[in-house]
Structure 1
């Protein structure tokens, strides 16, 4: 299995358990690892022989911008399932981060990390 790493996808969305998260929104960050056989693309130099990762980035941004879930676990799952519909993707790892979780006296980040297979 070969891997395409896409890091630092950043988008504003309205996912969260607290009502104010669903109204005011917040930033989310996503890193993807796409499992795909890159053998043919590596020799052909033809984009049709790989997975066009621009589509994956667009899917992530669209999901974050439009999703209305209470849990970021659900958002990560939906992103993973969307990515698996792309041509040639056999596996995806989604790392979804909430950089400024509204938790009193907590300055860290919350990250959900899931791996799914086609």
Structure 2
């Protein structure tokens, strides 16, 4: 299987359980990997045989910067499901990691993240 990776995409959203998260919002980072067969795209140099990663970026941006979710688990599942539904004939599997670099948690840590994998990966 071949893979397309979109790494360290950055967005601003209003997801979370705490009032501060839904009022002030916060930064989110996302990593997305798509399992695709790039054989035909590689042979033809034709974008129509692969997935346009600019479209995937816009899709992720619209979801993360759109309707608020309480749980990033729900948000990351939404991203994965929409990608699979948008490219049913091209994307065989998807892995999505959503990172909260600054959650309102007291303590010392770099970040928290949630990751889901769907389909053939």
Instruction: With the length of structure 1 as denominator, give the TM-score of the two structures.
Output: 0.95
Correspondence list, 1:1-118, <5 A: 1-87=1-87, 88-117=90-119
Instruction: Report the CA distance between 1:86 and its aligned residue.
Output: 2.8
Q: Runs of 4+ in structure 1 displaced over 3 angstroms?
A: none
Distance 2:119 2:86 in 1: 12
Q: What SS is found at the alignment partner of 2:62? A: helix
Distance 1:90 1:103 in 2: 36
Distance 1:30 1:76 in 2: 9
Structure 2, unaligned runs of 5 or more? none
Instruction: Report the CA distance between 1:6 and its aligned residue.
Output: 0.8
- CA distances 1:13-51 after superposition (whole Å, capped 9, x unpaired): 000110110111000000011001000001000000111
Across the two proteins, how many residue pairs are aligned to each other?
118
**What is the alpha-carbon root mean square deviation over aligned residues?**
1.1
Structure 1, unaligned runs of 5 or more? none
